[in-house]
């Protein structure tokens, strides 16, 4: 993706009417290509592989929650960033995930062209399946630069999306505990 993408960024800069060969922009196409490759690197990762060495047997059946996991992604509609936090909890079923595994799974999906709604569902489904959990809850709160910088140009809206699976959806007490833990 590197050289071809750098050429495209050079052409994009030229389309703005600026000179891609001027001092301040001379290396911009290569830097932008590297940045875009990083921001879309999630296509190269498999969530199952990220969890392969990070799932352990456990007798615990109490809820495990992680809140305020930083996320950043690119809106697939405008290629502008959205960023915020993911809050995740699961009800284990004889298996638990290492602490770093959940942020790695989130990044697998966040580092793709995304919608926040789909990101929320993908993370929940992956954790439900890969952990064989009794239930999973995911809430993502994010700010979108496509709302802040163009269109309606509003600075304060925070979009919240949620996905509740298994017992987190069907058991009112579990759902309430999850929501209390992430407040």
- Show which residues are catalytic: 75-78, 116, 144, 146
Count of other CB atoms within 10 angstroms of residue 122:
21
Start-to-end C-alpha separation, the chain: 41
Sign of the torsion formed by the C-alpha atoms of 80, 139, 38 and 48 = negative
* Closest alpha carbon to 119 in 65, 160, 64: 160
**SS3 of residue 172 by DSSP:** helix
Question: CA-CA distances (angstroms) from residue 124 to 104, 135, 144, 164?
Answer: 13, 9, 21, 7
């Amino acid at each position: 993706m590197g050289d071809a993408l750098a050429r495209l960024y050079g052409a994009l800069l030229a389309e703005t009417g600026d000179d891609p060969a001027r001092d301040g922009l001379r290396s911009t196409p290569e830097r932008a290509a590297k940045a875009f490759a990083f921001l879309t690197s999630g296509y190269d990762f498999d969530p199952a592989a990220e969890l392969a060495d990070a799932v352990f047997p456990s007798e615990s059946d109490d809820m495990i929650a992680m809140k305020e996991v930083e996320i950043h992604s690119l809106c697939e509609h405008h290629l502008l960033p959205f960023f915020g936090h993911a809050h995740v909890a699961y009800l284990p079923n004889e298996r638990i995930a290492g602490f770093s595994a959940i942020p790695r799974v989130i990044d697998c999906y966040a580092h793709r062209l995304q919608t926040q709604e789909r990101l929320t569902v993908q993370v929940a489904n992956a954790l439900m399946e890969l952990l064989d959990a009794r239930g999973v809850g995911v809430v993502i709160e994010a700010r979108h630069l496509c709302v802040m910088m163009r269109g309606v140009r509003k600075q304060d809206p925070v979009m919240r999306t949620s996905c509740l699976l298994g017992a987190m959806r069907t058991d009112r007490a579990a759902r309430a505990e999850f929501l209390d833990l992430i407040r």
